[in-house]
Chains A and B, each alone.
Chain A
Amino acid sequence: MTQQISELEYLKLTGWQKFSYKFVMFFKGLPRAFLNFFTLAIPCFFKKIWNVIKGWGLTIGGAAKHGDWKTRTSFVVFGFSQLARKQWLRGILYLVFELLFILYMALFGGQYLGLFGSLGKVQRGEVEDPVTGLWTYTDGDNSLLILLYGILTIAFIVCFVYAWYKNIKSSYIAQQIEEAGQRLATAKQDMASLLNEQYHKTLLGIPLAGLTIFTIIPIIFMVFLAFTNYDQEHLPPTQLFTWIGWDNFKLVFGGDVSGAASFGYTFAQVLLWTVLWAFFATFSNYILGMVVAIIINKKGVRFKKLWRTILVMTIAVPQFVSLLLMSQMLGTEGAFNKILMSWGWIDSPIPFLTDATLAKVSIILVNIWIGIPYTMLMTTGILMNIPEDLYESARIDGAGPVKAFFKITLPYMLHVTAPYLITQFIGNLNNFNVIYLLTGGAPLTLDFAGNAGRTDLLITWLYKLVMDKQLYGMASVISILMFIITAVVSLITYNRSSSVKNEEDFM
């Protein structure tokens, strides 16, 4: 059953065998998919970038070789060629950009770029006033600001290089147009083109700028933090922090993985629970939610709207309120234990949230309780969408309700909701709310490093590393690893899901 088989052989298999064959092949294919991702997709991406840069080089080379004096002066003075060719708007914009850049580097960016290699040298000073005995303080370098402005400056330099290239390209094209005896576009025409053939630039300009400033640069900043020793002992503005290379990564990967209380061991254990949790949380909600929806949808069930309303009512209560309430009720002195004890069913409180294994079970159960209404709502719509004639013909052919479920309902649902399942899975990998509000990662244990508890997910551990332990560098490493895991898992599973492969099915 683990070998690739021909289509004919496949058709000979029984239903269950077909399913398990597909199941096995999916997981057998995963390593190859991972391999492809790293050996094909990623190199391909870099190759594309390289091609773009090569294209730039060719343009610049051509301009240097065949350009007239106006074009060549543009190599140094931005917009000179455009101004000389009376393209006033373009010329001025390029020139102003260059002047701004020079001004910025001279007044501001240069000093930060100079300190970028060391992230600051001058420590904050302390001087006693000989007369009053009061201590006064002199400001030192702020490593955090140096890192931040250093990155911004580098980003600005990249923009500058790009503008330089565009400036040369634009003047070279202008020169070619002139040589061909055609007329150049005026400022008015340039502006008008932004609403016509260049309209995509107008539309995408603002979102792109927003994305760069609010998402990409913070991510780059965060990645850089992983290579510093920014922690409680090196807290700016009073203390300096500096580059430490791959040391943080070595603590996670190089450490003793089998032993106790090392970051490597903790990371492995927390990751294991994170994946387990995501799996159970996603599929328990999905399947049970679907079952509830099917039950309510069934012909002959009365008060359909009432049942749906009752279930949806739980959504009306904010999730964090339900979670906090649950955490109270499940506590050692909580309502559940109190009731069970007063009934005489138990002698001592059940450690719902304080015993490692029981806490994990409780979390998944509470999550089911919170999550089912959402899945039910979503699947109700899709279930109603399945053509009734499919079921009818199945019935005529003698299929029972169970067979109809596995042959019609489930494949249809899986096909339609695969992307939803993947988002759910990824969302659950990073499900901060449920864990943090229910157990806060408890029970803590001496087996783990970095204040991690038995029910901590990577994301809640990350929160602890930042808020309690102030290990910013280490936290950054963990978040990079989380990003890699979630990105790779979602890309690969999504690309292999049937909704992407057989997009036209069930249309």
Chain B
Amino acid sequence: MCGIVGLFIKNPTLESQLGELIAPMLSEMTERGPDSAGIAVYRDPNDKGCKITVLAENLDFDWSDLEESLKASFALKKITVTQNHAVLTLDSAISEVQDWLNENWKELSVTSAGTNIEIFKGKGNPADFIEQFDIKSMRGTHALGHTRMATESAITTEHSHPFSTGQDLCLVHNGSLSNHNRLRETLRRSGVQFKTDNDSEVAAGYLSWRLSEGDDLDQALNHAIDDLDGFYTFAIGTRDGFAVMRDPIGCKPAIMAETDDWAAMSSEYRAIATLPGAENARIWEPEPTQIYSWKRSLE
């Protein structure tokens, strides 16, 4: 069991309250996932360069060395440290920075890369995570969150969701995949890298691989229906919105709701009930294998 929440702001005046609105949603899903929590937030775009979130193993990691060496090699705009995560904002090519990090900073792992996305995650109770990462103060256009109840692999920060699936893309998953071991090996041979033995990371890797092969998100998800065996409700964050899809059996729960101000998804209605105007929202259950998505128009 896990809990998923997603919130997409339609009314721009609410963007300043994104964190304040999604924090109670995440908190409400604690019983579905008390082991760890995570959030992907889309905000403060750095369109001409990139933003990369990196994760250190320990809280006492000294970020000043990284900052110095980034400055020496790239056009670093800023580095924002929160707990054991740091968001690097650079006016440099994303692939160069990622390659350089892989080469020189093996003790760090990249949780997200793109122009808008930032991913934070941690072990422990979602309430502590919300506090430590000051989720309530986050502004932004949309966010996805996850609370995890580990069933098939260890409880570590790296096993926690969301998983990055490419630039400005991420995945949160409720369910379990049964063919992830074989699929992981197949994907590894195609060059996809994995950090853990987690099944959801395989789904993320699979989507990344399909997208790198030229699929758009809808095509990648449709291929996933054929190639992933198991139960899943997926929520996929993109630069300008998010998408939701359930497996053909559809036994993992999902509920969606929309008002003029926001669109939201969650594993259970009680998370959506925390949103303003939820009682009068249009509410429905997503059909199995149907892809539902929200996008903001990019001007």
A and B found bound together: no
